[in-house]
């Protein structure tokens, strides 16, 4: 399973909010069902892989339809929580990296975890590329075809927490530190 930190970072990039409670709740069964087995609970979309969705079509029409229904009856935040939950299952399925060997899988997971952490360490990129302004608490959204920056003060608090967690994990895990230093520097070279 992708770590809680990776799920939270990805949600902040996609939706502007980390939806940490959604991810925590979904992965809580991993405490008593470690590894892949925890996904027999609270990971409905994950289990429907190959039947109702594929990597080529991860969010077929039924998903935006359900989101709309939830949004109409329970509010837009609930609708977005639902999307964060579906995206969680999608990421978990990618994170299996079934086609790779054990060694390749370990390296690839570290690489992608380091990439997510690197994004957190580059808040300007979050603002310019992902449309999440973690300095002033705003999210770029397209409403009726027009682009607007909407105020969302929670973004600042959630980002600060992600930043602290990212720093902490880099301090603890040598492999991730190595990846961030290696590839982070390469990206800087390309941007120059
Ligand atoms: Zn999960």
The pLDDT of residue 90 is above 60:
yes
- Ligand 1 centroid – CA 92 distance (Å): 6
Query: How does residue 48 score in pLDDT terms, banded at 50, 70 and 90?
Result: very high
Residues with CB under 5 A from ligand 1 (ion): 1, 27, 92
Alpha-carbon distance values, 78 to 81, 111, 180 (Å):
5, 32, 34
**3 and 92 part of one domain:** yes
> Residues 44, 89: contact at Cβ < 8 Å?
yes
Q: How many domains does the chain have?
A: 2
| Contact between residue 157 and residue 151 where contact means Cβ atoms under 8 Å apart | no
CA of 93 to the centre of ligand 1 (A): 9
Residue 23 alpha carbon to ligand 1 centre in Å:
7
Of 60, 76, 96, the domain-final residue: 96
For residues 86-94, give the mean pLDDT: 96
Q: Are residues 70 and 116 in the same domain?
A: no
pLDDT of amino acid 23: 96
For residues 131 and 181, state if they share a domain.
Answer: yes
Average pLDDT for residues 124-139, to the nearest whole number? 95
Same domain, 148 and 59: no
Is the domain of 130 the same as that of 83? no
Residue 51 has pLDDT above 60, yes or no: yes
Given 70, 96, 122, which residue is the final one in a domain?
A: 96
Please indicate, yes or no, whether residues 75 and 146 belong to a single structural domain of this protein: no
- Pick from 50, 51, 151, 47: nearest CA to 89: 47
Distance, in Å, from the CA atom of 184 to the CA atom of 39, rounded to the nearest integer, reads: 32
Q: State in Å: Cα 128 to ligand 1 middle.
A: 29
Structural domain harbouring 56 = 1-96
């Amino acid at each position: 399973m992708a770590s809680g930190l990776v799920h939270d970072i990805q949600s902040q990039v996609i939706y502007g909010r980390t939806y940490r409670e959604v991810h925590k709740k979904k992965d809580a069964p991993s405490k008593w069902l470690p590894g892949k087995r925890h996904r027999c609970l609270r990971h409905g979309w994950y289990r429907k892989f190959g039947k109702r969705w594929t990597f080529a079509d991860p969010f077929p029409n039924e998903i935006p339809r359900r989101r709309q229904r939830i949004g109409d009856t329970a509010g837009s935040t609930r609708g977005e929580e639902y999307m964060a939950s579906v995206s969680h299952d999608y990421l978990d399925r990618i994170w299996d990296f079934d086609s790779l060997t054990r060694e390749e899988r370990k390296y690839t997971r570290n690489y992608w975890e380091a990439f997510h952490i690197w994004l957190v360490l580059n808040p300007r990129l979050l603002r310019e590329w992902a449309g999440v302004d973690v300095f002033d608490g705003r999210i770029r959204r397209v409403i009726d075809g027009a682009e607007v920056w909407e105020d969302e003060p929670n973004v600042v608090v959630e980002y600060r927490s992600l930043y602290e967690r990212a720093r902490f994990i880099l301090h603890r895990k040598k492999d991730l530190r190595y990846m961030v230093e290696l590839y982070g520097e390469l990206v800087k070279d390309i941007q120059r």
